[in-house]
Structure 1
Amino acid sequence: MPSFDTTTNQALRLACETLQIEADEILNLKRRLAGNDAAAFTEAIALVLTCAGRVVVSGIGKSGHIARKIAATFASTGTPAFFVHPAEAAHGDLGMVTAQDIFIAISYSGEAGELVAILPILKRLGVKLIAMTGNPNSTLAKLADLHLSVHVDKEACPLNLAPTASTTVTLALGDALAVAVLDARGFKEEDFARSHPGGALGRRLLTHVKDVMRTGSAIPQVKPDTKLSSALLEITQKGMAMTAVVDSQNTIVGVFTDGDLRRLMDKPLNFSELVIADIMRKNPHTIGPEQLAVEAVEIMEVHRINQLLVADSDGKLVGALHIHDLTRAKVI
């Protein structure tokens, strides 16, 4: 096993140098996109936006790994896309590609045999071909309808052999294209959440207050003339550490919480005679049932409360939320 001298800074120096090389190459890519490569990149955006089929991304080796990620990014941001392995494509998987699709072929040399071998079939199908290579004079670049340069001056590998900076630049260009298309489509957070329903973001953006609020008999509520003792019984039975106060039309007029009760204990009051109307907090914070549950979290955090009443557009009580309801729904 090779020896490793932890007393030197050689390893750390190489690590920092790697990051610097890759960062420099991405900045070079940025300058090209703002200059000579702007037209090609803009045309690529237009091709993807007007695609009636799907975006098919392909590559082999390290380029294949990058191609998979680019396809996944497109798919999760509103552009139907999938990865196809070029070797498998030559043995039947090309049947997944239609004339309405766009084919993005990735090869730094532009001469990957597996990709070049399937180009005649793609051309015969009439598929639009976008090549991402580091060589504009390569076979792949010349046969493509559009060439996007991922050229780098040097790899981060000390031997200048292992794909490092070139794969980083290719991935960055793929991300840039996907994000540009995302913006042009008007793709929103809600759209992203629909393709990620199992994740935390999906729960935050797809869960509405009406999905998690307590309703019907589970809502603690009393009338303004209710005695404090009866209100406390309602609070205890419903287990929300509060009760809404509503009038005869079910319109919310106030709220009374455990915290309010504790604050009353320091005052010289005749508790047996108190009615809720005299001690409730008027104009309580409310939220609508159609609002996102994450908005309820924000209200609770800003106002440092654990409960929230849910009101319809007329101010009538339709539900109640406790912070624990949002926790159980994994909104927070």
Structure 2
Amino acid sequence: MAELDHWHPVLFADALGSKPAPVRVCEHELVLFRASNGKASLGALADVCPHRGMRLSEGRVEGGRLVCPYHGWSFAPDGEGKSPATPAARPCADAFDVVERFGLIWIKRRGSPVVFPTIDVSGYHLIGKTRHRAEAPLEVTLDNFIEVEHTPEVHALLGYPRERMAEVTCEVTSTDTSVRVVNEGPQKALPRPLYSLLQIEPGDTFVDDWTTWFSPVYTIYDQYWFDPATRQRRPNALRIVVFFVPVTAERTDIFALSYALVAPWERYGLNAFTYLLTRAFVVMELRRDVTLLGKLADKRPELRGRTLSRFDKPLGLARKRIETIYRGRG
């Protein structure tokens, strides 16, 4: 599968301890393990022993090797195997490239020449990382995250009011490798305390500016507010990086890294509470998206025959790049 030629986040780094961990990505079952305490000693193998088909994730790590619990065969991070009963044997398990970055563990097919995805969060502070599973195919899951017409009904805080959706502008541009969407319109009403904590005002304009890339499939969102009269930007802003990882043809994992700018009033000690609150509502909004996707009556990725709106132009553009870049077809 060409999909495995791209770097995919598959597990939070702090979820991998001394025991091996099974993961599933693009219909493939893998096992992750730490050969030692260092980041450079990660292993990612096919979760099946080449001897008699035992799940290696049921085994243990011993002497920097993953030991199969069936016959004691062991494997190094590069897949090189040993058989205690037949020392001359040279078994080999399928190995994958694996790295730990941004608090996540990433894998790709061994030797694939693709570069690691670019994630620029300079000037931002991490406020949270979360993982959700959508019961929907990759394309259908991505659809939800690259249009804002659903925000009045689905989102509680980030988005636009239904009665003013006609005022929201949507500018779509694309390159051979990306699709960018810039949405601008009135922020929906928020609970009064949130205005002070986010340093915004009622009536502010909300900008949701995102770019989707396709090696792997991920979207970087820049979300901020400005005074509609002066177009002066408010000091607070969010940068949310969301990776869409197919588990199977019908399920997609969503890994989200949320960042916020440091507000000028940090010295007053309010930022920690604001960060916690911001992280909580970002997680809440993601959960609402995932819940909605699970309730779709028709989850087929096919767009032909559907009635689309002016906000849906990115859907077709994204599908073309998923096919050509991510799946390598054409």
TM range (shorter): under 0.3
Q: How high is the TM-score relative to the length of structure 1?
A: 0.25
Q: Which has the higher strand share?
A: 2
Structure with the greater alpha carbon radius of gyration: 1
